[in-house]
Structures are given as C-alpha cells and as structure tokens.
Amino acid sequence: MQSIHDSFVDSKYMDMIIKLIHDALYMGQMARHYQINIKHMDKYWPHLITAEHCYHCQHQVSTYQHEFFECGIMPQIWTTINHILDDAGLPHRLASIAALPEFLYDAHNPSFNLSRIVNTNVIMVTLKSVWDAYQNKRDMTADQYRADILRRLSMYLTNEIKMIPCHRDNAYKHGCLILNGTRRRNFDERQKMLLSKPRLRIHTLTEPDILAYEEIWLPTGMISIADDRRSIAIGVTPRLPT
Ligand SMILES: [Zn+2]
C-alpha cells in the first residue's frame, strides 16, 4: 500500500475512502443501519438516529450513490470534473460508488505515474468535498449545501494543483527505472529515509515542475504560468458550475 498512501494528500482522506468501500462511512442509510442494528440507539437515543432519507430530497433513500453522485448539484459537478480531466488529458473516470474498488485497484500502480496520481486525486477531492459538506447537511438548505460543496471543491482542487512539485518528488523517490532489462527502484527504503522531504514549492518551481504544469493543468485553463517560469497562478472557481 506504500504507493497508494504516498499518492494521497493526507490520511484522513484515505480513511474516508477505505470506509466508503467497506460500507462503513457514517452517512445516511448506512449510518442508520449501524445505529439501529449494531448500537441499538433506537432504544436509548431515538432522536439521534440518522434519517433514512436524504435531507434535501423527499422519498429518496440516502445511499452513498445518491449523496456522492445524484443529490442536488452532484451530476453537474461530475460533468465539470470530467471536463477538467478531459482537458488535462487524464483518462480515468469514476461513474459510481460501485466502481470505486476497481478504480482504486487500478490506481495502485507500482510504477509511479504523475498523471495517474493527479487523476486519482482530482476524483478523491471531489468525493471529499461532498463528505466534508455532508457533515452539516442536516442544518443547511439545499442552496447552502451546494455552495459549501463548491467552496470546498474549489479549495481542494487549488491544493491539488499546488501539489505537482510534491508529487514529482514522490514519483522520483518511489520511482523505478529499467536497467539491463531488470526493473530497479531509484532508491531502496534506507536511501529513501535520507532524501529530503517533499515540500510545496510554489514560488521556486523548477523547469521540470513547469513542464508538468504545462502538460497537465495549463490546458484546463485553471492556471497561468509566470513569464519567468518560476511560479504559477491558480484561478479555479470560474470553471465550476455556479
Ligand atoms: Zn438528495
């Protein structure tokens, strides 16, 4: 699991994904099932039990699929995310929660690949935006919820764009090269510990960082590159549905 962990932004985020694929994410119908059948909360705290239905859609059971893909603005968000991925030349898509295990399995590629890391993370931050906004969904109107998802997605995409130099450092650290027909890692585990820690470099970008930005993010229209090719400017919001 080394490479999959390194490719993700933080561990809280990985925790959400692992729970999601094991039906253990505390959300809607699944949370209710756990509260009633495992914790027997209906006997002691019936007022605390999660509603079976979506807070904003009457008669709609709050499944993961509904919350992450179907509720409110989500279909438009996924359309936008897929357009961004198209423009970035990143081919992998997530169309449903049911497809998540296979998506993650494919993402776990032992030979590090910058495009694959960014592709995976763009989809993960989309899921994370929904999960984080969902924490207060019960107390929000549909409009407030929609704005909260968009605000978070914009923030997480901005962070992901800033991660390019960090991903490149990780790719170098964990990368492989083919020598005389055999695959060798750039560094063994002991050497990796001696390497400097990957850092965010947003104003001192190197030429290979800029080349990666030109390949992946520039075609999306979400960034511009400074004339001196040492930094980028990010403008995410206009690309998202409003
Ligand atoms: Zn809904």
- pLDDT of 9 strictly over 60: no
Mean pLDDT of 73-81: 96
- pLDDT of 98 strictly over 60: yes
Alpha carbons 133 and 145: distance in angstroms, whole number: 7
pLDDT at 91: 94
What is the chain's mean pLDDT, rounded? Answer: 84
Mean pLDDT of 64-87: 96
Closest CA to 16 of 163, 156, 222, 148: 156
Q: Phi and psi of 25, rounded to 5°?
A: -80, 130
Query: To 10 degrees, what angle do helices 74-88 and 114-134 make?
Result: 160
What residues have a C-beta under 5 A from ligand 1, the ion? 54, 56-57, 71
Between the CA of 66 and the centroid of ligand 1 the distance, in Å, is 6
pLDDT at 127: 96
Alpha carbons 137 and 58: distance in angstroms, whole number: 14
Domains of the chain, residue spans = 2-160, 166-239
Per-residue pLDDT of 181-233, as tens digits, reads 666 677 777 776 666 665 666 678 999 999 999 999 999 999 999 999 999 99
* Confidence category of residue 111, pLDDT binned at 50, 70, 90: low
- pTM listed for this prediction: 0.83
Between the CA of 236 and the centroid of ligand 1 the distance, in Å, is 26
Between the CA of 75 and the centroid of ligand 1 the distance, in Å, is 11
pLDDT at 216: 96
Alpha carbons 84 and 210: distance in angstroms, whole number: 19
* Confidence category of residue 114, pLDDT binned at 50, 70, 90: confident
pLDDT at 112: 64
Between the CA of 92 and the centroid of ligand 1 the distance, in Å, is 26
* Across 73-87, 97-111, 136-150, least confident range: 97-111
Per-residue pLDDT of 19-42, as tens digits, reads 888 888 888 888 888 888 888 888
* Across 34-38, 58-62, 163-167, 217-221, least confident range: 34-38
Between the CA of 125 and the centroid of ligand 1 the distance, in Å, is 20
